[in-house]
Structure 1
């Protein structure tokens, strides 16, 4: 009898151990760090050539890549759909997901999409098929974007993630954190440099087209603008505008996208509504009074903005007026891109102009279906001839949940200009 009881206890113990092992294996499979890459099974699309006008509505903010794809951000996923001029969001062309890290930023150059994650990891994807091109370690982000449902803050203004082109022609992605910055070559993911940053007394501004990371450094005295070579990580210059106080607010101007590739900046004291505009020509910044107004944009050589209720284009270098459009009525410039200025009127008509001449390139009402024009424009993004705008419900309540904050469940309107 004792032998049978002993054997029963052994069997029960083994069964319990097997059950614990099975549970542990299941928990590990569910919770262990992992990545899932779903590559494209269809051909890479050709560039689209849509006629000017509204294309459709989208639930998430698109990043236009290579003029062929739309790339989106989710909580733990970056994915693409095609074609770029589809009326609605389509089944993913490719997808990349990580766990448990969260997606905090996405930038793209050419056919390379670089994603940044909450653990600092950088993962580059080939836009043509979604395959992982390279992985690299980066600094832990200083902050994560306050991303709402559309993900616009992740794909249109990724904090601490910038692109630029070095003097030798290499594309470089720069990632910054609280105490460190790193530069990585886009072509192969090779780390070019890493540099320590003083915590709590420095902030990013963006990158220039000439291969510099720009920041504001207030660690060793009055605030100064710091220029760092994006190819080597070396600080090449520190500059303070004449008459600047101890504090300094610096805003990038004319950026290719978000805060990358910015050929100008605006400096101001924290309490100033206006400021002083400067062109970044690779040396000491050059004063550009035409860029002083905070609502003025830089497109090529032209400073474009509303002056006394009229849209005016002036030479950024001389300040001379080149053209004016008093016939457009009131509105505001919501986005610019090479060769295009996008003005949204108070009636939510979109007028796209040539920045060199002020002539119309296209004009139409920025609405889709039966949605109407009773919305407030939110974040906007322009690239490759396309424009996407968030539509917010009136009156705008920044503290409201997404259902109340956005006009509809598909709040993005996408247009070809």
Structure 2
């Protein structure tokens, strides 16, 4: 049986429209903005207290949260695993994914994990369940030309434009900055406290202070000035330059609780400086601290720790008084610090942990796992809750190499308890 020509054409047209509609539905479902939250189905784990030593190796950089979880960053996902002292990465304890936005930064305070996305959205997750606590609009993230490495270390250990700071009244504020705007958001409930317009292209964030201020370097008027902005109100409290300082200035935060947040000091350096000049931060202007001048010196609490001719020396950062010496370290370097601990890495890749107040050795062991060996160079590092995590890079280090050449192994992050 043959259909009349006109009816056949109508049937073909209807079929084509139906096919187009089906394709449109499929494309919409695939490409439409989406959010997938997979919450925890098990109890929140207890804090771990493993013995000192290497725990294991991971393919991606962990953010230690609340001493209980490891949180990781993927291209469009933030997720957690447990236990915090697990030898390898395990199935997600919880997961949160967005599309088509990309994850650009993660910070944590207590049991709150705040993620920042390429569309400016801030999404706070409850670390105990992975459920969404609050959402807030933020300024668009600053543009970055840096390569995003596969470990995600820059996203979770040093996220650009995300700084936490504690206020004197006990509140915790997240300061979020973009190229043209900054906002202060209360971590507990996502309430916006303030917003401020920023001049684009002539200022850059440095970190935040333990006394509740955002630190930035401002070159908008020509010479470099260090700007201190109140995290509670957004008002600029002070503009400061080192006495006799150069017009070009590099500022490095010191003694930070995590990443570049809640820092106790800073180091300023200009062209031609051998190391720089160290400063302690407080309620007023920075106070000179010569004990922090050496480029490799670390600030841990009130103590400065530096390695000089194979000897670790601890001094009072405020007075410069020598407190202790620890010999026999060879060509070691200060790797990181955290409350009550300073971590040094020897030439043979031994991790040595000292008490920054007394210099007493708390632990020492080789940073090796399995048959990997120690022929690697340290990359990005974090230290928190008694743990240390280090990226291992292939020697000689080539910053321009692709990830396969840049990193030492596939599971390149080594995790240790100290």
What TM-score results when the alignment is normalised by the length of structure 1? 0.97
Structure 2 counterpart of 1:34: 34
Are the equivalent residues in 1 in contact too, given 2:276–2:294 (CA < 8 A)? yes
Structure 2 counterpart of 1:44: 44
User: Deviation at 1:167?
Assistant: 2.5
| Cα distance in 2 between the residues matched to 1:415 and 1:23 | 51
3-state SS in 2 of match to 1:397 = coil
3-state SS in 2 of match to 1:293 = coil
3-state SS in 2 of match to 1:11 = helix
* 1:117-128 mapped onto 2 (5 Å cutoff): 117-128=117-128
* 1:7-86 mapped onto 2 (5 Å cutoff): 7-86=7-86
| Cα distance in 1 between the residues matched to 2:38 and 2:213 | 35
| Cα distance in 1 between the residues matched to 2:31 and 2:271 | 45
User: Deviation at 1:158?
Assistant: 0.5
| Cα distance in 2 between the residues matched to 1:203 and 1:57 | 34
Structure 1 counterpart of 2:345: 344
| Cα distance in 2 between the residues matched to 1:209 and 1:65 | 19
3-state SS in 2 of match to 1:71 = strand
3-state SS in 2 of match to 1:327 = coil
Structure 1 counterpart of 2:129: 129
1:111 aligns with 2:118: no
User: Deviation at 1:397?
Assistant: 1.7
Task: Point out where structure 1 has 5 or more consecutive residues left out of the alignment.
Answer: none
Aligned residues: 417
3-state SS in 1 of match to 2:12 = helix
| Cα distance in 1 between the residues matched to 2:271 and 2:93 | 45
| Cα distance in 2 between the residues matched to 1:294 and 1:318 | 18
| Cα distance in 2 between the residues matched to 1:273 and 1:177 | 32
| Cα distance in 1 between the residues matched to 2:385 and 2:162 | 21
* 1:137-156 mapped onto 2 (5 Å cutoff): 137-144=137-144, 146-156=147-157
Are the equivalent residues in 2 in contact too, given 1:143–1:159 (CA < 8 A)? no
| Cα distance in 2 between the residues matched to 1:81 and 1:277 | 39
* 1:135-284 mapped onto 2 (5 Å cutoff): 135-144=135-144, 146-284=147-285
Structure 2 counterpart of 1:291: 292
C-alpha RMSD of the superposition: 1.5
| Cα distance in 2 between the residues matched to 1:385 and 1:300 | 15
Moved more, 324-333 or 178-187: 324-333
Task: Point out where structure 2 has 5 or more consecutive residues left out of the alignment.
Answer: none
Are the equivalent residues in 2 in contact too, given 1:146–1:153 (CA < 8 A)? no
1:328 aligns with 2:336: no
User: Deviation at 1:2?
Assistant: 12
Are the equivalent residues in 2 in contact too, given 1:162–1:260 (CA < 8 A)? yes
3-state SS in 2 of match to 1:13 = helix
| Cα distance in 2 between the residues matched to 1:107 and 1:15 | 52
| Cα distance in 2 between the residues matched to 1:311 and 1:377 | 19
| Cα distance in 2 between the residues matched to 1:275 and 1:38 | 48
| Cα distance in 2 between the residues matched to 1:364 and 1:47 | 23
Moved more, 292-301 or 63-72: 292-301
User: Deviation at 1:270?
Assistant: 3.5
Are the equivalent residues in 2 in contact too, given 1:288–1:317 (CA < 8 A)? yes
3-state SS in 1 of match to 2:371 = coil
Moved more, 151-160 or 323-332: 323-332
3-state SS in 2 of match to 1:163 = strand
3-state SS in 2 of match to 1:227 = strand
| Cα distance in 1 between the residues matched to 2:99 and 2:176 | 21
Are the equivalent residues in 1 in contact too, given 2:249–2:268 (CA < 8 A)? yes
270 and 116 in structure 1: CA distance in 2 versus 1, 3 angstrom threshold: farther
User: Deviation at 1:247?
Assistant: 1.9
Are the equivalent residues in 1 in contact too, given 2:264–2:301 (CA < 8 A)? no
Moved more, 307-316 or 182-191: 307-316
3-state SS in 1 of match to 2:328 = helix
User: Deviation at 1:286?
Assistant: 0.8
| Cα distance in 1 between the residues matched to 2:3 and 2:49 | 83
User: Deviation at 1:12?
Assistant: 2.1
| Cα distance in 1 between the residues matched to 2:288 and 2:402 | 43
Instruction: Give CA deviations for 1:176-195 in whole Å, capped at 9, x if unaligned.
Output: 11111111110011111110
